[in-house]
């Protein structure tokens, strides 16, 4: 059962019970309707309470049901709410913990609301490319006012209920025991004379609604071309009209948005993020190892950022270095980062001190030997890693998790430096590690299941999005970016210039084009990888323009020149005549007649390079599912959220079309470098998608 029914002392209590968050799927809606019918038919019942079991009142409509016939099957949420609102017996919602989306709309349809102070209130549909579709845009302005409702709906932000104590959203506020309080409240109002209050009967008042709404429309107009925010404004604006008309306009907009590719992609991203934490062969009830003490080795760029990720989550960290000077520099950098956040008003001085007090600095392995988890972030050199892991194997207590933040080295080889490869795992953070959400958890051949489960749970605690990757060169993200950068290079040889490539892919929605990105990361890093690749895989072809650039000392922003020119104190990338001449000259040397390349070709070649490599990665089992590849790109590489990641984007375009395009582009100059991945071809032939 997804909703329970009980009568206590004349009050019927309908309890939503659909874990994890009492999503209002079809079965739950049926359960509420069955409860309402019983309560209305039972003369001994004088009032009704609707509550939620477990950790939520309700997280809203069941997102997993969207796009299936169940979503539209009656009773719809609207029908449920209409039934509640029309009930002659008073209906009281008992809100605790989470009341979001359709869950909040259900409560707004009740006559009264008893709410715990700490309940989290939101209409977050806009984050899924939608708007509240069960009366939220009409009843919330009537409950809390036009401006407050518009802010909540357009931002999708969560607010605790105590902020609404003085509004019609809350009839009675409690600290806890909300169901008891709601029952009591229901008994009190059961015999009140007259009809029970309905939000629909109120009018939305605003002194200068037109001016305010005009301003709101202007503000959301720039929301990256996404349709939902503006539709939210329009629907809230309709709350100034008669209720039923507003409801019709809301419904129309909701159905329209539900069918947009943006919403499909954002819903995919929501579910993909949750799916990433599930590893097929790691049972959900795998016992976790205790993680009370964490150590980080190496206080450089990554070690410092990793330590901050733990400190931010209130987890003590011991930071180890070989030299006092490096240690002092590392600790000072952490403090400076916190101080600068405090200066911006985002952290109080007490918070800065509280975080710093969780940090211990040491030069001695003796101080970390009882840590439960140690993350190595020393130089990217196998010899240095070997020395560190040998040492860790000697001194760390049994059962400690030994993690490496290596970005390019073989985690199995690192594990083999120890006598406990089952305890070794890769934790590939991204720079700056205290800011970037993505964490690739690299699963070695021997990594124990409980190590994986523990690290995934830890990632959630430090607010990272963890995705498991098998061992391969570059793991998921960097292995794919290599193919993307390679296409970018070929495009230069064939006729494009860096600014055109960057502009095209940024218009597609990427945060930054490949050339601006490489300039920021440092061209010398990519150069070093290409040199290594040339030794390991001499037949690997790529555009040599990047090498020519490095030979000219154009290492990127840090050198003041890279693919672009930079001015001191200015991060703006200025197109460089010198680089553009070099590119044209290089095409001539290769005997290539440069041609005009369309933005569409640029986007397809870059994105399909990601898709094709992603398909190989899934096929080889490096990623256990295509949505994991999407999560890596959404959380670590600036892929536009509203396209749902490269694999999801390919599904939207149609895999047949993607395979055809790759084949067509492969006939060009870089032809022999590009073959359609077998999985992509297989799915295309079967008319399926990666995420089906």
Q: Summarize as ranges the residues that interact with ligand 3HC (CB under 6 A).
A: 20-21, 23, 59-64, 77, 98, 100-102, 105, 124-125, 128, 132-134, 136, 274
> Which residues have CB under 8 Å from 240's CB, separation 6+?
146, 204, 206, 209, 246
Answer positive or negative: Cα dihedral of 632, 633, 635, 636: positive
CB of 419 to ligand NAI, least distance (A): 20
Taking the C-alpha atoms of residue 676 and residue 679, their distance in angstroms, rounded to an integer, is 8
CB of 593 to ligand NAI, least distance (A): 38
Cβ distance to ligand 3HC smaller for residue 151 or 188: 151
| Residue 128 touches which of ligand NAI, ligand 3HC, none (Cβ within 5-8 Å per kind) | ligand 3HC
Retrieve residue 631's tokens. 């999560």
Contact criterion met (CB below 8 Å) for 611 and 646: yes
| Residue 100 touches which of ligand 3HC, ligand NAI, none (Cβ within 5-8 Å per kind) | ligand 3HC
CB of 294 to ligand NAI, least distance (A): 16
Cβ distance to ligand NAI smaller for residue 100 or 388: 388
Neighbours of 631 (CB within 10 A): 28
Residue located via tokens 């600014």: 499
> Which residues have CB under 8 Å from 625's CB, separation 6+?
275, 618
HSE toward the beta carbon, residue 440, CA cutoff 13 A: 34
CB of 327 to ligand NAI, least distance (A): 8
Cβ distance to ligand NAI smaller for residue 137 or 418: 418
Active-site choice (125, 440, 494, 613): 125
CB of 64 to ligand NAI, least distance (A): 34
Active-site choice (65, 74, 85, 105): 105
Cβ distance to ligand NAI smaller for residue 303 or 495: 303
* Contact residues for ligand NAI, defined by CB under 6 A: 297-303, 320-322, 326, 377-380, 384, 387-388, 405-407, 428-431
| Residue 301 touches which of ligand 3HC, ligand NAI, none (Cβ within 5-8 Å per kind) | ligand NAI
| Residue 297 touches which of ligand NAI, ligand 3HC, none (Cβ within 5-8 Å per kind) | ligand NAI
Distances (CA, A) of 267 to 121, 127, 356, 603: 20, 9, 38, 23
**250 is annotated as an active-site residue:** no
Contact criterion met (CB below 8 Å) for 103 and 59: yes
**207 is annotated as an active-site residue:** no
Cβ distance to ligand NAI smaller for residue 83 or 337: 337
CB of 225 to ligand 3HC, least distance (A): 21
Distances (CA, A) of 135 to 66, 92, 129, 205, 391: 18, 17, 17, 18, 62
| Residue 415 touches which of ligand NAI, ligand 3HC, none (Cβ within 5-8 Å per kind) | none
| Residue 405 touches which of ligand NAI, ligand 3HC, none (Cβ within 5-8 Å per kind) | ligand NAI
Tell me which residue has its CB nearest to ligand 3HC: 101
Cβ distance to ligand NAI smaller for residue 298 or 646: 298
Cβ distance to ligand 3HC smaller for residue 76 or 576: 76
What pairs with residue 6 in β-bridges?
Answer: 13
Taking the C-alpha atoms of residue 655 and residue 591, their distance in angstroms, rounded to an integer, is 34
The radius of gyration computed from the CA coordinates of the chain, to the nearest angstrom, equals 29
| Residue 90 touches which of ligand NAI, ligand 3HC, none (Cβ within 5-8 Å per kind) | none
Taking the C-alpha atoms of residue 377 and residue 439, their distance in angstroms, rounded to an integer, is 14
Helix 599-619 to helix 475-494 angle (10° resolution) is 150
CB of 138 to ligand NAI, least distance (A): 48
Largest CA distance in the chain: 92
Ordered DSSP codes for 565-632 = EEETTEEEEEE-HHHHHHHHHHHHHHT-------HHHHHHHHHHHHHHHHHHHHHTTSSSSHHHHHHH
List the catalytic residues: 105, 125
């Amino acid at each position: 059962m997804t909703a329970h029914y009980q009568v206590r002392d004349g009050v019927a209590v309908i309890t939503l019970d659909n874990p994890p968050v009492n999503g209002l799927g079809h079965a739950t809606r049926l359960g509420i309707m069955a409860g309402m019918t019983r309560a209305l038919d039972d003369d001994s019942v004088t009032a009704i309470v609707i509550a939620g079991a477990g950790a939520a009142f309700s997280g809203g409509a069941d997102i997993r049901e969207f796009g299936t016939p169940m979503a539209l099957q009656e009773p719809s949420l609207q029908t449920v709410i209409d039934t509640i609102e029309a009930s002659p017996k008073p209906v009281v919602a008992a809100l605790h913990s989470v009341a979001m989306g359709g869950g909040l709309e259900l409560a707004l349809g009740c006559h009264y609301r008893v709410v715990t102070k700490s309940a989290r209130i939101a209409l977050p549909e806009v984050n899924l490319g939608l708007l509240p579709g069960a009366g939220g845009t009409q009843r919330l302005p009537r409950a809390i006012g036009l401006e407050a409702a518009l802010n909540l709906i357009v931002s999708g932000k969560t607010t605790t209920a105590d902020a609404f104590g003085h509004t019609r959203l809350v009839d009675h506020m409690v600290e806890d025991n909300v169901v008891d309080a709601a029952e009591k409240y229901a008994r009190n109002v059961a015999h009140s004379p007259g009809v029970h209050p309905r939000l629909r009967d109120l009018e939305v008042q605003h002194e200068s609604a037109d001016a305010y709404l005009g301003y709101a429309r202007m503000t959301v107009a720039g929301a990256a071309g996404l349709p939902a925010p503006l539709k939210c404004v329009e629907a809230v604006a309709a709350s100034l009209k008669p209720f039923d008309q507003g409801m019709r306009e809301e419904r129309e907009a909701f159905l329209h948005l539900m069918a947009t590719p943006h919403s499909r992609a954002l819903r995919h991203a929501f579910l993909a993020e949750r799916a990433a934490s599930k590893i097929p062969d790691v049972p959900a009830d795998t016992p976790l190892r205790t993680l009370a003490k964490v150590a980080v080795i190496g206080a450089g760029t990554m070690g410092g950022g990793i330590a901050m990720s733990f400190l931010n989550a209130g987890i003590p960290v011991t930071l180890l270095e070989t030299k006092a000077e490096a240690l002092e520099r590392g600790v000072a950098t952490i403090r400076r980062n916190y101080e600068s956040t405090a200066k911006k008003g985002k952290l109080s001085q007490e918070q800065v001190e509280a975080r710093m007090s969780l940090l211990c600095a040491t030069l001695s392995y003796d101080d970390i030997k009882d840590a439960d988890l140690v993350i190595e972030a020393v130089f990217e050199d196998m010899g240095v890693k070997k020395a560190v892991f040998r040492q860790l194997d000697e001194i760390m207590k049994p059962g400690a998790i030994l993690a490496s933040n290596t970005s390019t080295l073989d985690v199995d080889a690192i594990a083999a430096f120890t006598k406990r490869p089952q305890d070794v795992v890769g934790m590939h953070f991204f720079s700056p590690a205290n800011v970037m959400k993505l964490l690739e958890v690299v699963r070695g051949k021997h990594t124990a299941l409980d190590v994986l489960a523990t690290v995934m749970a830890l990632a959630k605690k430090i607010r990272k999005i963890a995705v498991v990757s098998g061992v391969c060169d570059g793991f998921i993200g960097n292995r794919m970016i290599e193919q993307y950068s390679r296409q970018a290079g070929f495009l230069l040889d064939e006729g494009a210039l860096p600014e055109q490539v960057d502009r095209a892919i940024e218009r597609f929605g990427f945060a930054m084009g490949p050339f601006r990105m490489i300039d920021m990361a440092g061209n010398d890093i990519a150069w070093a990888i290409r040199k290594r690749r040339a030794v390991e895989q001499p037949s690997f072809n790529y555009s040599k323009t990047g090498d020519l650039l490095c030979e000219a000392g154009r290492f990127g922003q840090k050198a003041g020149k890279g693919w672009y020119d930079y001015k001191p104190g200015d991060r703006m990338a200025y197109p460089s005549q010198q680089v553009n001449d070099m590119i044209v000259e290089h095409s001539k040397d290769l005997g290539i007649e440069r041609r005009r390349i369309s933005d569409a070709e640029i986007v397809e070649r870059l994105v399909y390079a990601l898709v094709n490599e992603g398909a190989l990665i899934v096929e080889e089992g490096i990623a256990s599912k295509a949505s994991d590849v999407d999560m890596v790109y959404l959380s670590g590489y600036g892929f536009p959220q509203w396209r749902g990641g490269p694999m999801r984007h390919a599904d939207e375009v149609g895999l047949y079309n993607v395979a055809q395009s790759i084949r067509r582009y492969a006939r060009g100059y870089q032809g022999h470098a590009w073959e359609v991945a077998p999985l992509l071809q297989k799915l295309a032939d079967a008319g399926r998608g990666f995420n089906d």
